Amino acid sequence: MKKAFTPSDYLPKKVKIVEVGPRDGLQNETHSLSVTTRLALINRLANAGLKHIEAGSFVHPKWVPQMADSDQVIKALLKPSKFHTQADPTEVHYPVLVPNLQGLQGALQSGAEEVAVFAAASESFTQKNINCSIEESIERFRWVIDSALQEGVKVRGYISCVMDCPYEGPVSTPKVIELASKLHAMGCYEISLGDTIGTGTPNRVTHLIERLTQNLDISQIAVHFHDTYGQALSNIYAALLCGVSTVDSSVAGLGGCPYAKGASGNVATEDVVYLLDGLGIEHGIDLDALIDAGRFICHELEKPVMSKVNLARNP
Ligand code: HMG
Ligand code: MG
């Protein structure tokens, strides 16, 4: 008789969620929110139990005006008493995106304790996104990572377009592996795999992660799915079965990428939490408080919630 497949033999016991709504979510909105509103969102997320909240981005405000004043956001978060967060400030991490040394300097001056560099496995996307070639980006990141590590600041590495590129189509798996290995060797403690335009499907995700784990430990891999084709939760499940235990998501399903036409929201954090609950995986997040945070930010943005779970709970 065929042996029954027991998913719990493969699934992680605990998952770390990296909440990217205040950055990946808000960077794509048509209007920019005030620092006060961004802080109000971040504090709601922290109070819901999220421990890793991407709080902003030190990029050129001409390119991404929604992330202007990220320095003020970070500085204010370091004085949490002012914003009455109930979460223990020493337990919550607020990483920020930096594209180059100038961005890193801004992040360090604000007191950021963790930064993320963002590469892409496609030449055209890299040009549109950060105005340089892949090779140039790696050289820039080498300096950024070195300088950050010297200051005791942790560095995460993103790779965009790990499945497909909006300009070039399918992306080669060896290219993703090469970039991941370089970022890891340069000092990134974790590599987040971005399915930027949400075209991935579970078999492709499994294939990529299996190939990557020939070079990296599974604990060094995170997944970052956009839900453009409605595949994000299936892809997360496939990644969890491979042993991945870090998942990026965005409250209310906010998100997209200004340089990836057609990229819809990130997978909604509420939906990921519901999935993890169903699988019996520990995550430490209060779903009701998270739902309230999602409703709050959508009210501020005057847009509907994209999370299925949030909609189901608040028809
Ligand atoms: P550039 O124009 O090539 O920069 O932009 P430059 O070095 O030639 O300098 C030109 C001007 O920019 C100078 O100012 C610099 O001071 C200034 P000027 O002398 O003309 O007044 N400058 C900066 N200003 C503020 N912050 C900086 C900075 N650097 C230079 N850090 C740059 C290069 C990378 C800055 C630009 O292309 C940029 O800001 N791009 C934005 C990219 C971005 O934010 N993309 C979205 C995030 S990535 C993403 O969403 C994907 C992800 O979610 C994963 C996934 O889903 O796939 C992570
Ligand atoms: Mg993204």
Q: CB of 160 closer than 6 A to ligand 1?
A: yes
165 alpha carbon, closest ligand? 1
Residue nearest to atom 8 of ligand 1 (CA): 131
Token pair 């971005």 in the structure block, residue: 194
What's the pLDDT score for residue 269?
98
Residue nearest to atom 32 of ligand 1 (CA): 130
What's the pLDDT score for residue 89?
61
Rounded Cα gap, residues 267 and 17, in angstroms: 12
Residue 72's Cβ-side half-sphere holds a number of Cα atoms within 13 Å equal to 10
What's the pLDDT score for residue 119?
98
User: What is the Å distance from ligand 1's center to 60 Cα?
Assistant: 5
Ion ligand 2 — residues with CB under 5 Å?
24
What's the pLDDT score for residue 261?
67
What's the pLDDT score for residue 315?
60
Atom from ligand 1 closest to the CA of residue 116: 58
Beta partners for residue 246, in sequence order = 16
pTM to 2 decimals? 0.96
Strands across the sheet containing 246-249: 52-53, 16-19, 246-249, 221-225, 190-195, 154-160, 114-120, 96-97, 56-57
Atom from ligand 1 closest to the CA of residue 102: 31
What's the pLDDT score for residue 4?
87
What's the pLDDT score for residue 263?
61
Percentages of the chain per state (helix, strand, coil), in multiples of 5 = 50, 15, 35
Ordered structural domains, the chain, with CATH: 7-313 (3.20.20.70)
Q: CB of 63 closer than 6 A to ligand 1?
A: yes
What's the token pair of residue 121? 């496995």
pLDDT, one tens digit for every residue, the chain (315 residues)? 788 888 888 999 999 999 999 999 999 888 899 999 999 999 999 999 999 999 999 999 999 999 999 999 999 998 755 554 566 666 899 999 999 999 999 999 999 999 999 999 999 999 999 999 999 999 999 999 999 999 999 999 999 999 999 999 999 999 999 999 999 999 999 999 999 999 999 999 999 999 999 989 999 999 999 999 999 999 999 999 999 999 999 999 998 666 666 667 899 999 999 999 999 999 999 999 999 999 999 999 998 888 999 999 976
What's the pLDDT score for residue 288?
97
Rounded Cα gap, residues 249 and 74, in angstroms: 20
What's the pLDDT score for residue 255?
86
Query: Does the active-site annotation cover 161?
Result: no
Q: CB of 260 closer than 6 A to ligand 1?
A: no
